[in-house]
Amino acid sequence: MSRSTYVQRTIRNTIVSEKSFKETLDSFLYELRFFHPVHADKMIEQAMEAKDPKVFDTLAEEASGRFGYLSFGDHKVHRYLNKFNPNRPVLESHAIALGTSPRAYSMTKHNQEATINFPLRITVTQRPNDDRASVTWDLPSSQIPNLHLNKTLANAAFFVDDKFEELIRFCSGTMDEKKYKKILSMDKGAKVGAWKDAGGPTLSKL
């Protein structure tokens, strides 16, 4: 038995960074704690061994960056393309996967099939004519089928939209300067906004 579901058209966004390509990429890797020694899978294993899901939340809180995200890997697209097509070298391009603790996964709680689009992904691509980056991402809410039928799910999806773009605007240097400086001045270990179960229309606020 099989079934087909109509998924509304994905909204794909691209912005040009105000920072150099290297600064933009480094900002993402830093905010996602890409070089943190404990991977999300290891955190899950530790929580299962302790038989306490709060262990994962604690570890994720400690390992995540200011925006509450963890790295799920950096796929260096240019390395493969240049390996198999050396006569037409392409500029540097990274497909970065990111996620966060289960508390933030309101969408997947209401619709487990939403995990087909999670972890979230962004691409950071070097531009050919200047030293900046093109940053591309799919709007999370646009990837969930029948979103209009579930108000709670819709609120959660819009919440994630907001948090996701906030991270992207910060790392690419396209955020309002006043807010950007306020985030930079935060104490070590502080988080931007609050990841919580999005049961209402409240969005992330600094």
- The pLDDT tens digits of the residues spanning 69-101 come to 888 888 888 887 777 776 777 788 999 998 875
- Using one digit for the tens of pLDDT, what is the confidence trace for 103-157? 555 666 666 766 677 788 999 999 988 999 999 999 988 887 777 778 887 887 8
Asked if 69 and 32 count as a contact pair (C-beta separation under 8 A), the reply is yes
Our separate counts of H helices and E strands in the chain read 7, 5
**Residue 61: its pLDDT value, please?**
75
CA distance 79 to 75: 9
Higher-confidence residue of 33 and 22: namely 22
**Residue 69: its pLDDT value, please?**
86
CA atoms within 13 A on the CB side of 114: 23
Residue ranges and CATH numbers for the domains of the chain are 12-184 (3.30.310.70)
pTM attached to this predicted model? 0.82
Contacts of 55 (CB under 8 A, 6+ apart): 43, 46, 47
* Residue 25: other Cβ atoms inside 10 A: 24
% the chain with pLDDT above 90: 30
**Residue 34: its pLDDT value, please?**
84
